[in-house]
Structures are given as C-alpha cells and as structure tokens.
Structure 1
Amino acid sequence: MTQVCAQENLYNLLPRLEEKAVRPPRYISTFRPSVKYEAQKNKAPWKTIGPEKIEVPSPKDFLRKGSREPKLLQRQKGHGSKKISTLPPVPQKTDHPIIGVQVKKNFIRTNAVDAVMGKPKTYQPVCVDRRLGDKYLLETSGLVPKFIKKKDYGIIPKYIIKRNEEVKKAQEDYNAYFKEAVREQAMEWISDEERENVLQDLKKAWEETHHEFQCLSLEIDTLPKRMHKERLESHLKQLEHDIKLIENPHCIYIPKK
C-alpha cells in the first residue's frame, strides 16, 4: 500500500543535505606519453606558419634574357678532335693474309649429282574452300576417308555385343520365370486368333461408344447429361487403353477356364 503525502508536511521543513554525484576518475591511457612524444617529434616548427628563417634573394640576381635556356657543356680541349672509326683498317702491302685450307672438291659436280640422284621434295596436300579462299591441310580437314580404312570398320564393337547378349539372356530368364509362374498359377497363353478377335470386338465397342458420344447434345445443362458424358469419356479411355494393350506384341496370358 502506497503512502501519499499532502502538500503541507512537517518533514518538509527539515533541512536536507544535497547529495553530490561522485564522478569516477577519468580514464587515461598508458600510452599517452609515448603518443604525445611521437606527435611532437614529427611536427616541424614551420608546419603551419612557414620556416623560421628565409634567405632573401639578392637584388643582383635578377632574371636576364636567355638565362633559363639550357646550356650545352663546353667541349674540353684534346677530346673529340679525331673521329672514331668503326671499320677495320685497310691492310698494308707488307701484310700477309692467312690463307685457309684448300679443298679439291668439285662442288659443281657434287651439286649436279645430288640434284639428279636426290628425291624430289614432297608437299603436304592442302584443301581450299573456294577460289580465293584460304588453304589448310587436307589431312586434318575431315575430307580424307580415314575411318573406312581401319581394320575394325563396320564391325560391331565388343561392348555392344556383350550388352546385347546380356539383354537377350535377361529376356530368356524372364520368359522362363514367367512360364514357370504361369504353369504354377494354371494360366494359358492367348493365341493370335483370339487376340485378333478380342481386338476387333474392342474396336467395334469403341466405335459404338464414340458414335454415342458424338450424338450428345451441344448444350450440357443438366446433371444427368453431365454424368452421362463423363461416363462415356471414361469408357472411351478404358477402351483405348485395352486396345493399346492388346496391340502390344508381347505374350498375353489369361487364367484357364
């Protein structure tokens, strides 16, 4: 229960001591002296107001005409008076040049014999796509019948023969298993004549149902008409499924009568 004091209360006349909030000490980093030293060390005294002392240029060093143009170095005496020659000197009369070993081989005859007895140079056959087109090697163009010259050309690969044998064996195993299951369940195989008769009956039933479906009225506005239409559609779908199943070349087995 809370106690509510009136505006005039005896306790309000007593002096109260003002409680001052005690502020915690300010945080000072331990790296403050080193940072302050580095900042003062890297700061120059003329960082913001310019250098302390500036050398004033002399009034005698004023600009003159052509003083800023580049000047070439003066040639020193004793250098550049003679031109340096890169060619070898001309031999003197007294010089005796060194003569190489003399060969008695008849190069003309040798070249003629090599030309007669040598084999002619062979060129790789090329192919050109058009009269003014680029030419490229005929061997890599795909126009050379390489594959028909292979020994195994036209022969069925071994992996296909192996796969066909596996498929044939699996089909034989399945037929044997199915015949055994049919024999155990006393089922008989439907002949081709019976299959053809059943197929004709199904097609005839489909034609009759389809004719009945075509004779429906264009406006289906009542519930019996809608139900009759849905029944005919489902019957047509079932007949189509049965016809497709009978036309399948696989064997069909039915239970014995």
Structure 2
Amino acid sequence: MWQAGHVIVQLFTLSVDPISVKMAALCMEESIYNLLPQITEKTFKAPRYVSAFKPYVKRTIEQSKAQWKTIGPPKVQVPSPQDFLQKHSKEPKLPERKPQRKKKLELTVPKRTDHPVMGVHSKKNFINSNAANVIMGVPKKPVPICVDRRQGDKFILEPSGLIPKYLKKKEYGLIPKYVTKRNEEVQRAQEEYDAYIKETLRQKAMKRLSDEERETLLEGLKKNWEEVHHAFQSLSVEIDTLPKKLHKEKLETQMKQLEHDIHTIEKHKIIYIANK
C-alpha cells in the first residue's frame, strides 16, 4: 500500500520514465480498493414540457377549420357550354338611344304686305368681325428685353433691376415713419437731458455776496483774529511743556488762516459762494 502511494507520487513527479508508468498501472490494478463494487449514478432526464392549453387549442382549431379550407368547395355550379365567353362581352355597353320625334314645320306662303326682318344674321361673319377688332384694338406694347451677348441671349428687363421703377412710387424720397418717430424720441430725450442739466447747474450755481454781507464777513473774521491774537498774547513767556507748544502752534495756524482769508476778501470786491 505504501509502495503504491510512493509509486503514484513518483509517477507525477517523474512522468518521463515509461517503466515507472507501467509499474504504477500494475499497482493500481492490484489495489485492494479495486475489489469494492462501484456504484454508478443514474442520470434522470426531466420530463418533456407539455402545455396545459394544448387540448383547448386543438379543439378550437378543429371547430374553426372548414372542410373546404384547402381542397375547395365540394359543389360548384358549372357553366353551360352554350354560355361561352365571347369577344368584348365584359366591356361596358351604353344604353340604346331612343329615336326622337321630328317636329313638323308648317310652311306658309308670306303675304304681300309682310316685310323681312333686317339685321339678323344666321352665322357669324368672321371676316368683318376680325377686321373690326383689328381696327378698334389697341396694339400690344413690346416687352422690354435686354440682349447681353452677341449670340442673342436675352432676358426680361423689368425684373432684372435695371429699370428704376421704385422712382415712380408715391413714398419715394420721403422719410419713413419709423425714422421720423425715432428722431422725435431722440429729440425729446435730448430736451429732457438739457432741462435736467440746466436745473442741476441752477441748483449748483454760485451765489454772489452783497456788499453788506461782505463787510459783515470781514468784520467777523477780524473779530475772530483779535480773539485768537488775544489768546496768543496771553501765553506764558516760557513754554517748556508739549501741550503748551501744541497750543501755541494751533493759535499761530489759526491766525495765519484768518489773515489769509481777510487779505483775500479785502483784495476781491466781488465774491461768489458755491452751493454744496
């Protein structure tokens, strides 16, 4: 048993040696497991599918199928030999024309006093009518054409665009209504804009000071300068701290600004004030 297993392992590892293959086959035949009966499994095939509606379908087909469906009707009326097909027998025929009765004309001899009717013609005189139509008719105007090649190629001149037919229109040379309307809208918008600008300038226009207001303003500036100058003169002689220095610089700046304003107002007699 161990030798057989060993030979099988050797068979799989060294499959090139033919002697080992024969020994392995003999060992397999002489194995004790070969004495056991082998049970063969039977394969069961599924039953064939049969529809449950097969009888119903078969019965329905038998009921709806006629006996003459494929063979033809059992009895057919055979035409007689006397009624054979003739030529033009199936073509439609017009009904027979009935004879019309002719009216009898009574011919009488005209009397001596009878006069024939004048100006009545039984037939049309084509020669005279054609001559009258030609005499009274208006001659046709030739269609204007343009020949563009020496071979005689031509085309109608009117739809070509070479004839200035738009000059004959009533509206030719007039300004269209939509252009006039647009110009009026533009002019109205420009007038509204000009009115807005004029009103804005009027509101922002500079106001001129009168002589009385100028003198009052000048006196007020001088009075302010005197008050600042009095405060400047009241300062201590020795300025040794930072707040004193800042206060002195502030007073000097105010005095300079007031002096500048007083000089400007005295120099200009007419003064305008801009509205903010």
Q: Structure 2-normalised TM-score?
A: 0.29
Larger helix proportion of the pair: 2
Q: Structure 1-normalised TM-score?
A: 0.31
Larger CA Rg, structure 1 vs 2: 2
Q: Select the structure with the greater relative contact order (CA < 8 A; seq sep ≥ 6).
A: 1
